[in-house]
Chains A and B, each alone.
Chain A
């Protein structure tokens, strides 16, 4: 039964909130700042071995034999694992779409460069890596397919022969009379776009310590798991263990952004532990392993998009044809990224009809994984770039064409063509804020003047939706079952009035323990220091998922407020007994259980909890004497997907409007970001400094995606970007310092009115920067259709334009 929780700050049992809504310093920071947080590589167990992994140098090769005899003789080597072992001991990994996964080590053939082929457990990582050099693998190289377009050719090499094709999924989703909209349009605009592979790259790679108890038949894995629960159920299935014999313990981790991954490494270390007689085995992914073989790559996409347009700028239809190159398998949950755009397919606009022609193909590259934003960032770029194409076509200002198509502020909640419901918003207000901050008309004048002087300035004005609080139903179209994602918390008060909060996720960087502390400190009238959040493992935590899909800030607020409400009911009952009054006369306010209308008749929560724990003789006869409550929150009102994938999926719709000024050096193709303004509306801000940090971090990753980052494979399927010298991450030199303004349209559906905002500017910045570059170069006849807009790419386009 869902518990009613405060929907606004005013409904909290406090006369003046002291913490929620304020940029309080984060409770997790002192340990992080002094280097004492227990990241997984800081953790050791007695007798622990170290794992190193041998990887395929071929993009596609049959494995004829693996000879480990010399490696096994090396002093310090305790166990060597090969495909034969994993074939005997494991099931293929579950995937969406189903049936496109392998084992943790390649068994019969390798499908991408960097795929694990064998692994060693030894007394040190140095020895384990020495041993890899003694393993001899007999490969029979096979023809590889690297280009997504060619993967569907009849004669293409097949990644999975049993499927008879490299098409993992082909479906057309139609929402409304899209054919009618295009037939009745004044103009139809079509363009093609290419988004190359980028990826998460948290500063900490994945790491794990696994221990298989051979007597108990149980497995314990400690690691940097983004969602320990999700990893645990998959491990039980893959390793053939009953679910209650698998215990995963998530350690604090150094960022994830969806790209922590680790399923293969967890299975490999588990099996090496099994083969080592139960000794614990640690594996820390190194950066080259991450880049070539980790959960590092996402969104390898070929788009064709069309708008049905009226001469007044109204968009009546939006068609997207996507060829999504998922790489060698579907093991990384990357297909979900092709499904998520349904949650905000038509962005901020009231476009009544739409169509999504989706093809996901397999190629001999690293399997795609989730990355912050989970698919919409490329989609948003396509939509927003098309809006600019339409604006140029009709001679309407980019701000004006957007304004004409917005979902009006009085029509929320609003169901978009692709089925999701937006909770609330005021897009005109967000746009107006950014135009005012940037002094937009002056900026346009500056741009015109600069052009006279041979400087090519561009303005990108982009607005996007950030779907918040993901639901499994959003991914039904690629084969993911389920509706509802539970998040639980247990709140307990001890004998001294201190609060203990048990949750199912570890620190990752978003500051959720601080948010939990703020909410509970205001609810129970205590200080932040009176609260301790203690993460639990998969066997001790209430049902949980953890961070992902911009959900946890909202979900954990719902969980702790639900638990707080259940706890309040218990305290009221006990206090009523102790104060000798009917329960309906007792209320919780500012940390006191007090008798309404009787000044001074009150007890502190410590006194009430203390009575529950130590004075059973005083308690009313029918009370539960445990000052602790657990609540599991799920998003209300979610619906299963219909035959066109339509569902109430993501609960919240934050929106942002970015305006960026760039300058393009047409001699070198180099882009410089000169100024950057952001207005964004994510409902109630539980901790504004956290939100600002998420936003600015999203800008950095967006700038990386737009200008710098790209995984490059050559035509033979070899990765050319396997270090940070080649895969370029944005530094302080490239990331603009932004001017930000907060607007607040609370969500009517969430605890305290907050919306999911963890992905933040990653939804918006790539599109904003790309639209700005296009705006700068449009007068030169250059069409920028490829991300990232690296200098060599722009230089080539400029050269071509000059030639014609």
Chain B
């Protein structure tokens, strides 16, 4: 059996220690060991973007990253977005703009959009396309997702953002 390795992570502001086989993917650790099943697996080869999480603030595909590679890092998943049962403004924008249908790809989109809006609070059309271009949505045809990104950006820029952003 492959030797297990001990790793330490901060996930959604909680410290974790886990013993993993080196071959364990980050998404399998998050979903299987930590029970954070909001991150979904769509293709397992890094194309569809459904499994995107933030690792040290960067959007990464957790299906092609090994858990041991994430050792020592800080991770945010979709479970870390809202607070106390409230939707994050990006989630709220998706709700209002009908930015989702089956919702399976949505957590991945949310994490990449979160990274985009942290970096660029008033993104250009090209920046939005560049971010969404790394994700496949099979349901919506993207139009309502683009609208949701614009709406989310406006929400986060407004003084009423409530400490988000």
Residues of A within 8 A of B (CB): 23, 25-26, 28-30, 32-37, 39, 41-42, 75, 126, 200-205, 253-255, 257, 284, 286-288, 507-511, 689-690, 692-693, 696-701, 723-725, 729, 731-733, 735, 737-738
CB–CB B79/A26 < 8 A: no
* Chain A residues closer than 8 Å to B135, beta-carbon distance: 731-732
Q: Give the shortest distance, in Å, between A548 (CB) and chain B (any CB).
A: 15
Which residues of B, 53-107, contact A by the 8 Å Cβ criterion?
A: 77-79, 81-82, 87, 91, 94-96, 98, 100-107
Mask: chain B, 138-163; 1 = CB below 8 Å from A; 0 = not = 11111111100000000000000000
Which residues of B, 28-55, contact A by the 8 Å Cβ criterion?
A: 31, 36-45, 47-48, 50
A–B Cβ pairs within 8 angstroms, 8 of them: A25-B96, A33-B95, A34-B81, A39-B40, A41-B31, A204-B104, A255-B101, A732-B146
The 8 Å CB contact of A35, one of B21, B23, B79, B101, is: B79
**Residue B5 at the A interface, CB < 8 A?**
no
CB–CB A34/B104 < 8 A: no
Which residues of B, 91-147, contact A by the 8 Å Cβ criterion?
A: 91, 94-96, 98, 100-107, 110, 129, 132-133, 135-146
* Chain B residues closer than 8 Å to A75, beta-carbon distance: 1
CB–CB A255/B139 < 8 A: yes
CB–CB B87/A286 < 8 A: no
CB–CB A732/B138 < 8 A: no
CB–CB B106/A33 < 8 A: yes
Name 16 extra pairs, CB < 8 A, besides A41-B31, A737-B146: A26-B95, A33-B87, A41-B41, A126-B24, A204-B40, A255-B102, A287-B42, A288-B44, A288-B45, A507-B102, A508-B102, A509-B139, A693-B141, A696-B142, A696-B143, A697-B138
A contacts with B: majority SS: loop
A286 to B23, CA, bound (A): 17
CB–CB A29/B94 < 8 A: yes
Residues of B within 8 A of A (CB): 1, 21, 23-24, 31, 36-45, 47-48, 50, 77-79, 81-82, 87, 91, 94-96, 98, 100-107, 110, 129, 132-133, 135-146
The 8 Å CB contact of A255, one of B39, B87, B104, B146, is: B104
CB–CB A35/B138 < 8 A: no
CB–CB A203/B146 < 8 A: no
CB–CB B98/A692 < 8 A: yes
A732 to B131, CA, bound (A): 10
* Chain A residues closer than 8 Å to B24, beta-carbon distance: 126
Q: With A202-B102, A202-B138, A693-B140 known to touch, is A34 a contact of B91 (CB < 8 Å)?
A: yes
* Chain B residues closer than 8 Å to A35, beta-carbon distance: 36-40, 77-79, 107
* Chain B residues closer than 8 Å to A693, beta-carbon distance: 98, 101, 139-141, 144
Q: Give the shortest distance, in Å, between A286 (CB) and chain B (any CB).
A: 6
Q: Give the shortest distance, in Å, between B51 (CB) and chain A (any CB).
A: 11
The 8 Å CB contact of A735, one of B87, B106, B142, is: B142
The 8 Å CB contact of A25, one of B31, B95, B133, is: B95
Instruction: Determine the residue in chain A with the shortest Cβ distance to B81.
Output: A34
The 8 Å CB contact of A32, one of B37, B77, B103, B138, is: B103
The 8 Å CB contact of A33, one of B40, B91, B133, is: B91
The 8 Å CB contact of A36, one of B38, B138, B142, is: B38
A151 to B138, CA, bound (A): 34
Instruction: Determine the residue in chain B with the shortest Cβ distance to A286.
Output: B44
* Chain B residues closer than 8 Å to A41, beta-carbon distance: 31, 37, 40-41
8 nearest interchain CB pairs? A35-B38, A254-B104, A32-B103, A509-B102, A696-B141, A700-B141, A509-B101, A724-B47
Identify which of A33, A284, A725 gathers the most chain B CB atoms within 10 Å of its CB: A33
A697 to B140, CA, bound (A): 4
The 8 Å CB contact of A732, one of B91, B98, B132, is: B132
Identify which of A23, A34, A200 gathers the most chain B CB atoms within 10 Å of its CB: A34
A25 to B98, CA, bound (A): 7
B contacts with A: majority SS: loop
A257 to B129, CA, bound (A): 25
CB–CB A724/B136 < 8 A: yes
* Chain A residues closer than 8 Å to B43, beta-carbon distance: 287, 723-724
* Chain A residues closer than 8 Å to B137, beta-carbon distance: 203, 700
Q: Give the shortest distance, in Å, between A370 (CB) and chain B (any CB).
A: 15
Instruction: Determine the residue in chain B with the shortest Cβ distance to A257.
Output: B138
Instruction: Determine the residue in chain B with the shortest Cβ distance to A738.
Output: B143
Instruction: Determine the residue in chain B with the shortest Cβ distance to A700.
Output: B141
* Chain B residues closer than 8 Å to A286, beta-carbon distance: 44
Identify which of A35, A39, A731, A738 gathers the most chain B CB atoms within 10 Å of its CB: A35
Q: Give the shortest distance, in Å, between B99 (CB) and chain A (any CB).
A: 9
CB–CB B133/A732 < 8 A: yes
A288 to B63, CA, bound (A): 14
A692 to B143, CA, bound (A): 10
Identify which of B31, B38, B101 gathers the most chain A CB atoms within 10 Å of its CB: B101
CB–CB A724/B45 < 8 A: yes
A203 to B140, CA, bound (A): 12
* Chain A residues closer than 8 Å to B140, beta-carbon distance: 693, 696-697, 700
* Chain B residues closer than 8 Å to A509, beta-carbon distance: 101-103, 139
A731 to B137, CA, bound (A): 8
Q: With A35-B78, A738-B143 known to touch, is A29 a contact of B102 (CB < 8 Å)?
A: no
* Chain A residues closer than 8 Å to B50, beta-carbon distance: 203
CB–CB B23/A723 < 8 A: no
The 8 Å CB contact of A203, one of B1, B21, B31, B138, is: B138
Instruction: Determine the residue in chain A with the shortest Cβ distance to B82.
Output: A34
Instruction: Determine the residue in chain B with the shortest Cβ distance to A33.
Output: B91
* Chain B residues closer than 8 Å to A37, beta-carbon distance: 103
Q: With A33-B87, A126-B21 known to touch, is A23 a contact of B138 (CB < 8 Å)?
A: no
* Chain A residues closer than 8 Å to B144, beta-carbon distance: 689, 692-693, 696
A35 to B109, CA, bound (A): 12
Q: Give the shortest distance, in Å, between A325 (CB) and chain B (any CB).
A: 24
* Chain B residues closer than 8 Å to A26, beta-carbon distance: 95, 98
CB–CB A34/B87 < 8 A: yes
* Chain A residues closer than 8 Å to B31, beta-carbon distance: 41-42
Q: With A34-B81, A203-B138 known to touch, is A29 a contact of B103 (CB < 8 Å)?
A: yes
Identify which of A42, A287, A732, A737 gathers the most chain B CB atoms within 10 Å of its CB: A732
CB–CB B37/A29 < 8 A: no
The 8 Å CB contact of A697, one of B48, B77, B81, B139, is: B139
CB–CB A203/B129 < 8 A: no
A37 to B135, CA, bound (A): 20
* Chain A residues closer than 8 Å to B104, beta-carbon distance: 39, 202-204, 253-255
A735 to B132, CA, bound (A): 12
Identify which of B21, B47, B79 gathers the most chain A CB atoms within 10 Å of its CB: B47
A75 to B2, CA, bound (A): 13
A203 to B79, CA, bound (A): 20
* Chain A residues closer than 8 Å to B101, beta-carbon distance: 255, 509-511, 693, 697
Instruction: Determine the residue in chain B with the shortest Cβ distance to A724.
Output: B47
Instruction: Determine the residue in chain B with the shortest Cβ distance to A28.
Output: B103
* Chain A residues closer than 8 Å to B143, beta-carbon distance: 696, 735, 737-738
Q: Give the shortest distance, in Å, between A21 (CB) and chain B (any CB).
A: 15
CB–CB B42/A203 < 8 A: yes
* Chain A residues closer than 8 Å to B87, beta-carbon distance: 30, 33-34
A201 to B104, CA, bound (A): 12
Q: Give the shortest distance, in Å, between B31 (CB) and chain A (any CB).
A: 8
* Chain B residues closer than 8 Å to A699, beta-carbon distance: 141
Q: Give the shortest distance, in Å, between B89 (CB) and chain A (any CB).
A: 11
Q: With A29-B94, A33-B91, A509-B103 known to touch, is A255 a contact of B38 (CB < 8 Å)?
A: no
CB–CB A29/B95 < 8 A: yes
Q: Give the shortest distance, in Å, between B61 (CB) and chain A (any CB).
A: 12
CB–CB B139/A33 < 8 A: no
Q: Give the shortest distance, in Å, between B50 (CB) and chain A (any CB).
A: 6
Instruction: Determine the residue in chain B with the shortest Cβ distance to A372.
Output: B138
The 8 Å CB contact of A34, one of B44, B48, B78, B102, is: B78
